[in-house]
Structure 1
Amino acid sequence: MESIPRRTFLALTAGAAVASRLSWAAEQVPSLLDHILLGGNDLERGIAFVEQHTGVRAAFGGVHPGRGTQNALLSLGERRYLEIIAPDPGQSGMQQYSVISKLNEPRLIGWAAHRDNLDQFARQLRQEGIEFEGPQPGLRQRPDGKLLRWKALRLKDDRGGLLPFFIEWSKESVHPSVDAPKGCTLRRFEATSLEAEDLLRLASRLQLDLHVLTAKERFLRAVIASSKGEFSISS
């Protein structure tokens, strides 16, 4: 949906996407989190990667016309889902997410937060002096022929991909989490930054209850639970 600057990936850790299995006392996820994006240069490889660690196979979602990408989806609970996104070989070039064509192994590349009224939210951002692009319309045709429609807004400064883009789903569209394959939940989602206090202040202005840790390197981490246990994916 929205583009992630190349600097996001250059600033993030170069370690494996899957960390050691973890156990958390309670769910710690931003209340407005809509979905997380796992990017890679091959959709089937991304699907197999997730299935290997969760036992759940994501379902093909469709292509993004004119954007050069395709996706597969997996529910992470109520109004939350995982989007596996990769280049669409049926389209020439990518308008967005061009960096994923270089990712041989799937990595977390960003996240989206939902808003019920994106136009009103845009007005609030203007009043706060926060620069953004959009809202812009988007659509995707599902394999069953139904159309999903949404509007998206992207911050001009998303702190290197640590902050989300914002999405408002059309009232006529069924949220992807409803009929995507079940069996997984998102237990924890966090960001790390050397400038953690600054990131927290901006997240608060955006009405985001994002969990932020102080670290030398900047990255996102998500912990997903399934019948096979918990595993961590990171950017």
Structure 2
Amino acid sequence: MPHCLIDHLTVTAPSLAAGAEFVRAALGVAPQAGGEHPRMGTHNLLLRLGDARFLEVIAANPAAPAPDRPRWFALDTLTPQSRPTLATWVARTADIHAAAAASSEPLGAIEPMRRGTLDWLITIPADGALPLGGVAPALIEWHTDAHPAAGLPDHGLALAGLELLHPEPERVSRLLRSLGLADAATVSAAATPAVVAHIDTPQGRRRLAVP
């Protein structure tokens, strides 16, 4: 069985400014500049959640050419009026090919990606959609000496818990088991898929979810 770990949370937004304000209002801390993803025409902001975890705000980059394929994380479905949201999460593995093969759900093709000096492999569905409505994680395999979170400022934030809501909770639980993530999150039934993160901050525990 693959051994995966929660790597980062992904907040999607129509712009980085909107996403930054969403995170600041929820957690009391604004994320810092990240970088650009030339292959996807996107850019991001980052916020440390521990030595090897972080939160990402990601949006289409208006200064970059549109990619010749759908952008990841369903970003092409957003409009200027869309509200930022905790759209999905990403699980880290040391062997992304084995983890993707073991997954009980299709998570997308394994794609090489780069942001600045960082290189990694990540699963991306061909249509850019979020598997299981965002409740299923993307898989990532970092090709770095140190985890990217280690270089971010420490604002005293830490991920305390992750909730996954879905109309088919057993399907989600089966997926987590197949990836060695059975204890990574709680799974509950709900009419609409959603990801909810509970984050400890210097001001107490805060909740990050769909607005």
TM-score category, normalised to shorter length: 0.7 to 0.9
- 2:120 corresponds in structure 1 to 150
In structure 2, distance between residues paired with 1:34 and 1:59: 18
One-letter code of the match for 1:223? H
Q: Larger relative CO (CA 8 A, sep 6+): 1 or 2?
A: 1
Specify which of 187, 192, 206 is matched with residue 212 of structure 1: 187
- 1:116 corresponds in structure 2 to 94
- 1:20 corresponds in structure 2 to none
In structure 1, distance between residues paired with 2:4 and 2:101: 21
C-alpha displacement at 1:72, in angstroms? 0.5
**Radius of gyration: which is bigger?**
1
| TM-score, normalisation: structure 1 | 0.74
Residues 155 and 66 (structure 1 numbering): CA distance in 2 closer, same or farther, change over 3 Å? closer
Q: Deviations over 1:40-59 (max 9, x none)?
A: 11212222332233332311
One-letter code of the match for 2:92? H
In structure 2, distance between residues paired with 1:78 and 1:138: 22
Specify which of 137, 144, 162 is matched with residue 171 of structure 1: 144
What aligned pairs does 1:10-159 form with structure 2 within 5 A after superposition? Answer: 32-93=5-66, 95-96=70-71, 97-102=75-80, 104-125=82-103, 131-141=106-116, 147-154=117-124, 158-159=131-132
C-alpha displacement at 1:180, in angstroms? 1.7
Q: Does 1:232 align with 2:210?
A: no
Structure 1 stretches lacking a partner, 5+ long: 1-29, 142-146
C-alpha displacement at 1:123, in angstroms? 4.5
- 1:185 corresponds in structure 2 to 158
Question: Per the alignment, in what secondary structure is the counterpart of residue 160 of structure 1?
Answer: helix
Structure 2 stretches lacking a partner, 5+ long: none
**What RMSD in Å do the two structures reach over aligned CA positions?**
2.4
Q: Please say if residues 66 and 91 of structure 1, whose CA atoms lie closer than 8 Å, have aligned partners that are also in contact.
A: no
Residues 228 and 100 (structure 1 numbering): CA distance in 2 closer, same or farther, change over 3 Å? farther
| TM-score, normalisation: structure 2 | 0.82
